Structure 1
Amino acid sequence: MANQLELKYGCNPNQKPARIFMQAGELPVEVLNGKPGYINFLDAFNSWQLVRELKAATGLPSAASFKHVSPAGAAVGLPLTETEKKIYFVDDLALSPVACAYARARGADRMSSYGDWAALSDICDAETATLLAREVSDGIIAPGYTEEALAILKTKRKGGYNVVKIDPDYCPAPVEHKDVFGITFEQGRNELEISGALLENLVTDEKEMTEDAKRDLIIALITLKYTQSNSVCYAKGGQAIGVGAGQQSRIHCTRLAGNKADIWYLRQHEKVLNLPFKADIRRPDRDNTIDVYISDDYMDVLADGAWQQFFTECPAPLTREEKRAWLDTLDGVSLGSDAFFPFGDNIERAHRSGVRYIAQPGGSIRDDHVIETCNKYGIAMAFTGIRLFHH
């Protein structure tokens, strides 16, 4: 290892020179393959922190799928149901626990995960490498790789796939810095530990939270800790199912994340599971087509005959009424917010996507209205007392 690594350029090709370096000591990372860039390393270091904390909080192998310094998905390594295997397109693969974690993380929002940066809390095994090898991805960070896994990953992208190994024992300095417009900012690192203790202040009439809900809320909060703010995360079954990042208003975060959660669930509808795709359709085209089929734009696709590019026969539309009826069966969803909800409209939107459990800081002058809206729907809400802004 060395104390610096020269990069091709910064965020954009005109931003040169570029490097990552340590003021003292050696870099805690080793590039095993490829040539990661500036944004790759931003994704790598943020995603590594996320999966490391998820593993510490849950005791389960964890994974994240990052794009532009925010997670498209994050998950722990619980076994997948047959339906989940099918919608994540891994029903033909053997899956280890860490492979299950990445399949979940990438499957949360496959449109956004296209060209992602992957992060694993545990050593990358052959099963996870095999899954990654057939997806469009920029790179991966993990604490280690088996020989077989590394050999598989080195065949990806004509041998140029970015593979980064990080020292799992690396502990950064307690104070961090960054430069903006030639001015150096300094702050203490956000070392706040997210655990079940943050979920004890239940302020709603509903005081019960299942253990699964607590786990999912912890996943949501840790995900938010490394998501560009403002941000909201929906989680269910050991994974994020919708992340709304970088919005200027809280309701737009809630809507964006809720729409993604709805798409995740609509992919499990019988009509979507049985779409008559052509055998030679590319994986990204299939994902895009599913997204269009679920959306209201599918009627336009029917009208202009574009469906013939992707399907062996014309599938009947998934009507608005069918979609609503299916979404009404979604339940037990957990939701985390990186700052307080200013109005009850966020709860109204969350309820439409099956949210039953919420964790948010509290502290709005309209907390009473937010609590009242939760009580209307039987939602259990905890005030954590902590904000999770990330910029």
Structure 2
Amino acid sequence: MDLRYGTNPHQQAAGALPAHPGRWPARVLRGSPSYVNMLDALNSWQLVREASRALGRPAAASFKHVSPAGAALAGAVDPVTAELYGVDPDRVGALTSAYLRARDADPKSSYGDFAALSHPVDAELAELLTRVVCDGVIAPGYAPGTVESLGRKKNGRFLVMEADPAFVPPRRETREVFGLQLTQQRDDRELSASLLDDLVCGALPAAASEDLLLGLTVLRYTQSNSVCYLRGGQTLGIGAGQQSRVDCTRLAGAKTDTWWLRRHPAVRSLAFRPEIRRQDRINWQIRFVEGDLTPDENARLSAALAAPAPELTDDQRARWRAGLDGVAFVSDGALPFRDNVDHAHRHGVAYIAEPGGSIRSAEVADACREHGIALARTGLRLFHH
């Protein structure tokens, strides 16, 4: 298969070949993929397939730069998300709900995402995809007429891929780096609730176990170091690719706070002018939440509003953040210091799953007991590079 270009447009003559002749994991129905498109498609498809199989519900992911911006199971769509995307929360279908919840985790990053669905795309979801800024989609099938409608998006450049749910990858995988072939056994360890059996402290309700299991699946396909915060079957904040794990924890925690603060009455009451587009509204909501607008940004935000912005003080932000609780936290590698727990606690975390095995694991467990956080040790590292 010819690709439009490699990782960057100047890297030409890009292509893709199956590891075993004739055995393709997915096929292109519309559009022409790039190298990164293929990485996003194949990684995101594996994530949603595994999440759906493990948890028994439709799953969706919103991918950017070979890591998920968000991932979710089908579930209730809250009023903030429903209003933003113009859907009726009481009538939205399961698959559409999964994608909306995945995309709303970090809607700033999901701009121009690659969407992945565990189940065939129906007419409702196809219609939504035509209305959002999205570069492509991968799913195991498409309802009649949906490929054609999606294929018209982006002047025919929207990428539509169909995954083969029966495809079984080879046990060993190989990549070439700087003239050297690296080979390893594929990470095919089954992710199940039994990984949470080693409960060091606290208790895990069924909903928390589901969130932790979803988090493990998400991090298996997120660039390491990685952590994620989850609640209610969806990610709230994902931190990826940081050299320091606590930096990753803080980054994902800041995204979690932003997700929660976007539900604050002051943010919901921002009255944008009708001509202001959805993504611009999202970006302004986030900047308003962050609270460090430059003078130029303040002027541009005022111009985008039909009425003056309400007050949102630091004290109001702090009091609203304190209302977030019941959050699950998952780390792809062992927590090396208790500072990860201390920071996670600030973002409503009540449940943690991590491999354990650090020389300071006892301090990590003590921190969890101190903060009243349940801790499960999985014994399984999930680095992804």
TM-score where L is the length of structure 1: 0.95
Cα deviation digits, residues 5-35 of structure 1 (max 9, x gap): 0112100122121101124332232211111
Which residue pairs with 1:322 in the alignment?
A: 316
Question: Does the 8 Å contact 2:270/2:310 carry over to 1?
Answer: no
Q: Does 1:237 align with 2:232?
A: yes
Q: Does 1:272 align with 2:267?
A: yes
Alpha-carbon distance in 2 for matches of 1:384, 1:36 = 37
Pair 1:370–1:89, CA change in 2 (3 A): farther
The Cα shift of 1:316 comes to 2.2
Q: Does 1:76 align with 2:73?
A: yes
1:183 to 166, 169, 180: 180
* Amino acid paired to 1:157: K
Q: Which runs of 5+ in 1 are unaligned?
A: none
1:222 to 213, 217, 221: 217
* 278-287 vs 50-59, which moves further: 278-287
Question: Does the 8 Å contact 1:94/1:127 carry over to 2?
Answer: no
Alignment of 1:92-241 (within 5 A): 94-204=91-201, 206=202, 208-241=203-236
Q: Secondary structure at the match of 1:21?
A: coil
Q: Does 1:37 align with 2:34?
A: yes
The Cα shift of 1:308 comes to 2.8
* Amino acid paired to 1:267: R
2:369 to 357, 375, 384: 375
Alpha-carbon distance in 2 for matches of 1:89, 1:242 = 23
Question: Does the 8 Å contact 2:302/2:309 carry over to 1?
Answer: no
The Cα shift of 1:89 comes to 5.0
2:6 to 10, 16, 32: 10
Alpha-carbon distance in 2 for matches of 1:106, 1:56 = 21
Which residue pairs with 2:304 in the alignment?
A: 310
Which residue pairs with 1:254 in the alignment?
A: 249
Instruction: Quote the sequence identity (%).
Output: 47
Question: Does the 8 Å contact 1:347/1:370 carry over to 2?
Answer: yes
* 324-333 vs 366-375, which moves further: 366-375
Cα deviation digits, residues 337-385 of structure 1 (max 9, x gap): 0011111111111011100000000011111111111111110000100
Which residue pairs with 1:22 in the alignment?
A: 18
Alpha-carbon distance in 1 for matches of 2:148, 2:76 = 26
The Cα shift of 1:94 comes to 4.8
Q: Secondary structure at the match of 2:200?
A: coil
Question: Does the 8 Å contact 2:354/2:379 carry over to 1?
Answer: yes
Alpha-carbon distance in 2 for matches of 1:45, 1:234 = 23
Which residue pairs with 2:342 in the alignment?
A: 348
* Amino acid paired to 1:244: G
Which residue pairs with 2:287 in the alignment?
A: 292
Cα deviation digits, residues 40-59 of structure 1 (max 9, x gap): 00000000000000011011
The Cα shift of 1:88 comes to 5.5
The Cα shift of 1:85 comes to 2.1
* 73-82 vs 139-148, which moves further: 73-82
* Amino acid paired to 1:65: S
Pair 1:187–1:74, CA change in 2 (3 A): same
* Amino acid paired to 1:325: R
Q: Secondary structure at the match of 1:63?
A: strand
Question: Does the 8 Å contact 1:250/1:346 carry over to 2?
Answer: yes
Question: Does the 8 Å contact 1:114/1:284 carry over to 2?
Answer: yes
RMSD: 1.5
* Amino acid paired to 1:21: L
Alpha-carbon distance in 2 for matches of 1:382, 1:14 = 46
Cα deviation digits, residues 259-292 of structure 1 (max 9, x gap): 1111111111111111111111012211111111
Q: Secondary structure at the match of 1:7?
A: coil
Pair 1:63–1:159, CA change in 2 (3 A): same
* Amino acid paired to 1:346: N
The Cα shift of 1:82 comes to 2.9
Alpha-carbon distance in 2 for matches of 1:167, 1:25 = 15
Alignment size in residue pairs: 384
Q: Does 1:64 align with 2:61?
A: yes
